[in-house]
Chain A
Amino acid sequence: MIALVDYGAGNLTSVRKALSAIGASVWTPSVPGELGRAHGIVVPGVGHFDATRRLSDDWRTAIKTMADDGVPLLGICVGLQWLFEGSEEAPDVRGLGTFAGQCALLCPRPTSQDPRPLKVPHVGWNSLHLPRSSRLLAGVKEGTQVYFTHSYAAPVIDDTVAICEYGVPFSAAVERANIAAVQFHPEKSGDAGIRILGNWIHAAV
């Protein structure tokens, strides 16, 4: 059973549909205590970092306890950002701090190829650079394109397993032991995204 944490950050239909399509049983726990029976936990999210404020201390403790016990945890988009220490999008809201660093507004610089400044949000298909192998991205080729839609991004750290570049390089995917997260939307990234979700589910069930 995969717990899909709903903290009111937009639309969970696509994530639920994609997880179900690869054979996972998905439910949305209504209280933190329900997380105890999860074989894997997904923290999704689109929109504003401020929405993670609704993940109260009870939820934080429950998610952290499960992750410390080795239960696979996957953060998606804002869910990835929440696993870092925080974001300048909502400076008074703490992230879980599993990964080191603060998320910052993308600030793409004009390049010699395109002197017009790049647009923010970063919307669309961009490619992954894979600095090292990971379980999450097993079988995913260097340069694979996945679908992003975000304005803030996490820095590249030791746990980064995929880097995307949009004016600046940022963490497209991070992984440490049983905890993984992606800035892009695997549920919207065609076959590559389904493979990535499948890799994660494989660890969870």
Chain B
Amino acid sequence: MPLSKRIIACLDVRDGKVVKGVNFEGLRDAGDPATLARRYNVDGIDEIVILDVTATVEARQARAHTIAAVAREIFLPLAVGGGIRSEADAAAAIEAGADKVSLNTAALERPDLISTLAKKYGSQAVIVAIDAKKQGPSYKVFARSGQSAANRDAVEWARQATDRGAGEILLTSIDRDGTKAGFECDLTAAVSDAVNIPVIASGGAGTFEHFAEVFTSGHADAALAASIFHFNEKSVSELKQFLAEHGIPVRK
């Protein structure tokens, strides 16, 4: 068996609750991140990302509380992003139980932060998140949750982030995010082929076929989704069975 393609669930958290809506049957408090993490764990998820969109200075303590609550439930890799702006933010997240931190805007503004954290915690602990939008023939990077253009080429930025010590790239297609129209396979393949570290594809998951596509023509090493799992539209175990039937190696 070769290395499995990873299926990652993203919990978008605001003020300690999962946003983007959650609709699991039989859950008393479906918006609770720890409850949802436990559910995903049973269903065979490979990894969990907490994206804390509260992202204020006061939020650090609340974020640590959420991380600790999720980390207590699962013995799986746990990444945390959103509002990791400094070494102190990263340290607080890791101390609370995160294995990896995901940097986005902060890495664009202060690329040194990538190498500082990679040196301190190891590259495996540092994800650089890239939000990209198609412009003409290429893909451009956007910062601040897609609000402002960073005037950088996505492939070039992925290369630079890798050189600075990033251990993984979390690549989100702004065009596809929330559309359920499928992952942006051209973007994913371009970045994945340009770097020698794993690339996590994000944005656009709607069907099982979309995952198969991004693992084959998109050359993705992992795929991340949020609402497709939250709404109980698709179960992780059924997705994995589908992928296995299509010759894609997954963790059973």
Contacts and interface: CB of A to CB of B under 8 A. Distances in A.
A132 interface: no
Given A13-B95, A121-B167, A48 B75 contact: no
Contacts of B167: 121, 123, 149
A156 interface: no
B124 A13 contact: no
Interface string B210-252: 0000000001011000000000000000000000000000011
Interface residues of A, number: 39
B3 interface: yes
B218 to A, nearest CB: 13
Contacts of A125: 3-4, 6, 46, 251
Contacts of A11: 94, 99, 121, 125
Contacts of B252: 145
A48 B122 contact: yes
**B-side interface mostly:** loop
B41 interface: yes
Interface stretch (A64-72, A79-87, A112-120): A112-120
A14 B97 contact: yes
B72 interface: yes
A10 B3 contact: no
A24 interface: no
B197 interface: yes
B76 A13 contact: no
Interface residues of B, number: 36
Contacts of B198: 119, 121, 123-124
Interface in B142-192: 167-168
Contacts of A190: 41, 74-76
B1 interface: yes
B75 A124 contact: no
B137 interface: no
A121 B4 contact: no
Contacts of B21: none
Contacts of B193: 116
A17 B121 contact: no
Contact of B122 (A46, A111, A114, A187): A46
Contacts of A48: 122
B71 interface: yes
> Which of A11, A120, A188, A193 neighbours the largest number of chain B CB atoms within 10 Å of its CB?
A11
B125 A10 contact: yes
Contacts of B123: 47, 121
10 contacts: A14-B71, A14-B99, A113-B2, A123-B168, A123-B221, A127-B1, A187-B75, A188-B77, A188-B99, A190-B76
Interface of B: 1-6, 41, 46, 71-72, 74-77, 94-97, 99, 120-125, 167-168, 193, 196-198, 219, 221-222, 251-252
Interface of A: 9-11, 13-14, 17-18, 21, 46-48, 111, 113-114, 116-127, 143, 145, 147, 149-150, 166, 187-191, 193-194
